[in-house]
Structure formats: C-alpha cells, structure tokens
Amino acid sequence: MEKIKYNTLVFLTLIFVVSLHLAACNKSVDGNVSDPSKSRSFTPTNLSVKTSKDSAFFTWTAPLFSINNMTYTVDIATDTSFSSIVYSVVSDTMNAVATDSILQLNTPYYTRVRVNPYTILAASNYCVSTHSFKLLGFQFLKPIRDFDITPTSLLLNWYLNENTKGVTNVVVTPSGGVPTSVPVSASEVNAGSKSITGLVAGKKYELQLFAGKKSMGITSFTTQTIPSYNAIITAGVDSLAAAIAAAADGDVIGLNPGTYTLASATPILQKTITIRSVSNNPSDTKILSRELDLVGNGAGISLIGIDVSGNYSGTSYGTTFLQMFGDQTTISLPATFTNIKIDNCTIHDYSRCIIRGNYGTNANDFKIGNITINNSQIYNIDQVSTTGYYQFVLDKVQFNNISFTKSTFYNLGNGMISMSTQLAAPTLIPNINIDYCTFNNIGGSGKYLLLDAKANLLNYNLSNSIFANTPINGTLNTAAFRSTGVGNIFTFSNNNYFKFTSSIGGLDLVLTGLLQANDITNDLGWSPSTTNFSLAALPSSNSIFSASSNNGTIGDPRWAY
C-alpha cells in the first residue's frame, strides 16, 4: 500500500515538473510558436504543412513527455487569431490531411495543433504554424483566349482526361456578387466545352469547374465592353486620315471591314483617340500605314481589332509603326503623352521599329503613362537588323508601365526595349511586365535581347512565356539584359526557352541578375521560320501544359489548343 502511494506521488510530481517546464517554453520552434494564453503540459512541436495540388498534409513532433492513447486536434483558420476556424480534425497519429473538398483554392490558411485532454491532464499549448499555406488545385481548364469572350458570354474549354469525365457544373462568381452554379450536360462533358451566357458587359468574374465537390480548375476573366462610336467610316468611301484629323479628344472612330491607306506620316495632335474595327476582327479590317505620330501634350492612341501593315508601295522611307514627337515642327520639344494601347491587333512589316520615342533633347523630356500590348501579333520588323534600333526605343521617355500580355512576337531584329539614357529619379518606379507571350526568331546587332535599362530605376517581370531561336541573324550581347540600377527587382519565372543563344548555334544567353524560378528548357521543335506556334500536336504530358504560375499552359494562349 505504501509502495502504491509512493509511485502515485512520483507520477504527480513528474507531471507538475513537466508542466512548469513546458509552460515556460513559448518561443518559436522551427517556424512554429506555442500559444502563451494556454500554458498546458505535453505541447507538440515542429508543425509543418506540405501541399499538393488538391491536399494539405500536416505533420508534427510528439511532445517530449508523451503517453499512449494521446490524441491531437488540428485547427485550420483563415486568420492568425483563429477566430475563423473552417475545419478541425482529431488525430491519434502525428499527421492529418485536408483536401480541396474542404478548403477553398487560392485562399491563405493558417494551422495549429494541440494535445487533447487525457485522464488527469489538461489540453496542451497550441503549436501554431507561423506561415500560411494555400491549395492551387488541379488546373484542367484550357487557357481562356480573348476571342472566347464577348460582352455577355464565355466559351469555356477544358482538357479531356479521366478526372474531367466526371465534370458536373461550373460556378461563376461576379466581382462583389453572388456565385451561380451552371450545370454541365453529358454532351458538354464529352466535348470538354461549355458556353456560359447571361453575363454582364465589362464585368470581372471568377470561374471554377467542378466534378462533384472536386475542383477541376479555377480562373478569372473580364467580359468585353460594348463600344460606342463618335464616327463610323467605310473604306473606299471615307478617308481615315480626314477622320483622324477631325476627331476630338476622346473620340472613338469605328472602321467597317475593308482596307484603309495612310500613305504619309499621320499626326495625332494633342489628343487621345481610339481607332477600332466594328467587327473586332483584324483579318477583315486593315490599315496600310507608313507611320502614326503622337504629337504634343495629351497625345495618345488605342488601336483595337485592326491589322496594321507597313508593307506597301508609296514610300522608300524607312517605316516605323508609331513615333512620339514634341511638336510638328520642333519634334524634340518636351511633351507629356497619355497612353498607347494595342489590343487584338496584328502589326507587321515595318523596316525600323515598333515604337520610337527618343527625340527629346534632354532626358525626361518625353513622359507617358502606360504602353500596353494585349492579345496581338507583331512580326516582320527590321528583320535584317541593320538600323540599330531596338523594337521599343524609349531612351528619353519616362513611363509608368509597359505591359505585354497574351501576345506573339516573331521575326524581329535587334533587342526588345531600350531605355539606356540615364533619366532623373522618378517619383514612382516604372514597371515592365511581360506575361503569357510567345517569342521566336528575334534579336541581333549585338544588342541586349530583353532590355537595356542602364542604371535607371525599374521593376521588371517576365513570366509564363516562351522564347526560341535567338538571334534572327548576327549576334547578341551575351547578357540578355543590362540593368545596373540600385534596388531594381528583376524576375524571370515560369518561362520556357530553347535555342536561346547569343549567336546562331552558339552559347546560351546569360540570365545572371534575374531572379529565376520554375523555368524549363523544353525544345518544342520550332525553327527560325516557324510562324504557327500551336501546341495542339504535343502530348498532354508535355511540361509546357503545366509550367505556368497557375499550373496551366505558358505562352500566348492563342496557340494553346
């Protein structure tokens, strides 16, 4: 009897000592912290989270003084205070799992674990993960191409495989609105395609494809706006040059299908205008243009749904698609332009460059807001690489943002962007963003292929794109870019590049200085003469279809399928 009392006393004393010891250990342990508001015995440690596309796996280390039949509770919450717990699970092992049938995709979550009360022992401290995690989910949706979107509808496509045989519905959520579940019929499942109607023009939506409770992909898109026109003209009847001259600031000129000619350099004088095809189809609405000129303060242009070509008889002068001038007579005068927007266009066969804006006498003489190219194809520009121009000559232009998205560039000479004149420090650091683009047969004349920024301040991001076959002829600088500005942030991620060399068949271009992540070097078999970049013939297992930052296809989406 005395021995039993003695053993019980020793056990209780041990519990008391361990409690005091663990109650004092509330510091971070391998990225985890215990909850100081609950000083309890037997606290687990080393909580970690590993994720796959559709699952999160939690593991932890048993407390130092563990006993048999001990159980644990894992909590998952959307906030660090755990006031919004979305899921809890009890485990009798040191691991647990949560799937996308429980957790929302692309949503940050936090987790914690504790030992549950057992016999005379109270619940332990929580061991809390200090880092969030999220599930990206399976991505069986094909990229949404801009021509799949209208003001009121979307044509959605997905890959056919064992997983998507069970597709049941699509959940469509307007920004700030209520989700709507749209059923998918058996015939639509077999086709891997669903037309979604009844949408609102100019509205952003999030969309998720489901097979029961299992997510098959998630994406977002914005419906097209419905244009209104200040004038609509017809080829062979009306003069485009006259319509541009007569347009007021902010006007939209609509072009009926046909071919329009601008035989001389055409000024857009101190106003911002839009020229767009009524059909929104560049294959049936064309402009033969030697040059468009933005002239003076307030000048800017949007071109939408048009084919613009510099390949026509009428001038022997070297042609540039777009130039920026300070004044019609004194072109180097300072000027502040508005924006340049190119959307759903093809621009081709110019002998000098795409945009030239280096006429200012002094650095920073020219200023512009945004230069945007989206859903467009640009090709056959300065193919012989003898003029010395970069494709975008912005050496004396202070810009806010340059954005190239979902576009294709091929058969281009020299380098892409030049801003090599040292500019004054900007109030806002400018940004260059290149995303989901395809490049083939580009570069030459010893230029920096991607960018020459000298010591200018700049943030640069190039992602989800494909590069092949450099240079078009001659050589390139062995470095893909130059940037010596202190504090610049340059990223190169989720790209595929092959035959990416400083001379044809030579050494690879150097990407030192770019923050690189998740890049691949998958040779897609393109030659310098390739102009059809369709990926449809590739096996579905090709890494190109899952290499993007959202686990989807990289490059210009028009070629994805």
Quick one: which of 414, 418, 437 has its CA closest to 497? 437
188 and 217 housed in the same domain: yes
For residues 343 and 404, state if they share a domain: no
For residue range 249-294, list pLDDT tens digits in order. 999 999 999 999 998 899 999 999 999 999 999 999 999 999 999 9
- Backbone phi, psi, residue 504, to 5°: -60, 120
Please indicate whether residue 355 or residue 137 has the higher confidence score (pLDDT).
355
CATH number at residue 114: 2.60.40.10
Do 118 and 174 belong to one domain? no
On whether residue 241 sits in a domain, the answer given is yes
Domain around 254 = 227-351
Burial class (CB in 10 A: 0-12, 13-18, 19+), 518: middle
Query: What does the pLDDT read at residue 312?
Result: 67
Backbone torsions φ then ψ of 54, nearest 5 degrees: -125, 5
Q: Is residue 330 part of a domain?
A: yes
Residue 25 has pLDDT above 80, yes or no: no
Computed over every residue of the chain, the mean pLDDT equals 90
Q: How many Å apart are CA 110 and CA 103, to the nearest integer?
A: 12
Domain boundary among 325, 351, 377: 351
Position 432 scores a pLDDT of 97
Q: Give yes or no: residues 285 and 200 share one domain.
A: no
Cβ proximity of 155 and 195 under 8 Å: yes
pLDDT tens per residue across span 154-195: 999 999 999 999 999 999 999 999 999 999 999 999 999 999
Whether residue 327 is found in the same domain as residue 438 = no
Residue 57's φ and ψ, nearest 5 degrees, are -115, 125
Decide which of 188, 222, 256 is a domain's last residue.
Answer: 222
Phi, psi (rounded to 5 degrees) for 72: -130, 150
**282 CA to centre of own chain:** 25
- Asked whether residue 251 is assigned to any structural domain, the reply reads yes
From 95, 129, 163, the end of a domain falls on 129
Q: What is the pTM of this model?
A: 0.80
Q: Are residues 79 and 168 in the same domain?
A: no
Q: For 143, which DSSP code?
A: P
Range of lowest pLDDT (9-23, 51-65, 219-233) = 9-23
271 and 124 share a domain? no
Cα-based distances in Å from 54 to 98, 104, 138, 503, 552: 9, 10, 7, 43, 15
Residue 187 lies inside a defined structural domain of this protein: yes
Identity of the residue numbered 445: S
Same domain, 125 and 180: no
Q: Which stretch of DSSP H or E encloses residue 233?
A: strand 231-233
Rg (CA), the chain: 30
User: What are residue 58's phi and psi, to 5 degrees?
Assistant: -110, 130
22 pLDDT tier (thresholds 50, 70, 90)? very low
In a shared domain, residues 218 and 298: no
> Domain for residue 139, yes or no?
no
The answer to the question of residue 376 being in a domain is no
Which of 49, 48, 52 is CA-nearest to residue 551?
52
Q: What is the pLDDT of residues 392-429, one digit of tens each?
A: 999 999 999 999 999 999 999 999 999 988 888 777 88
Q: 170 with 274, same domain? A: no
C-alpha–C-alpha distance, residues 440 and 511, integer Å:
18
Section 203-211 average pLDDT:
96
- Condensed to tens digits (0 to 9), the pLDDT of residues 468-520 reads 999 999 999 999 999 988 888 899 999 999 999 999 999 999 998 889 999 99
Pair (399, 527) in one structural domain: yes
Structural domain contains residue 211:
yes
Residue 171 is assigned to a structural domain of this protein: yes
pLDDT of 34-49, one tens digit each?
Answer: 544 444 557 899 999 9
Q: Say yes or no: 122 and 33 in one domain.
A: yes
**275 membership: H or E segment, kind and range:** strand 272-277
Please give the tally of structural domains in the chain.
4
pLDDT computed for residue 318 by the predictor: 66
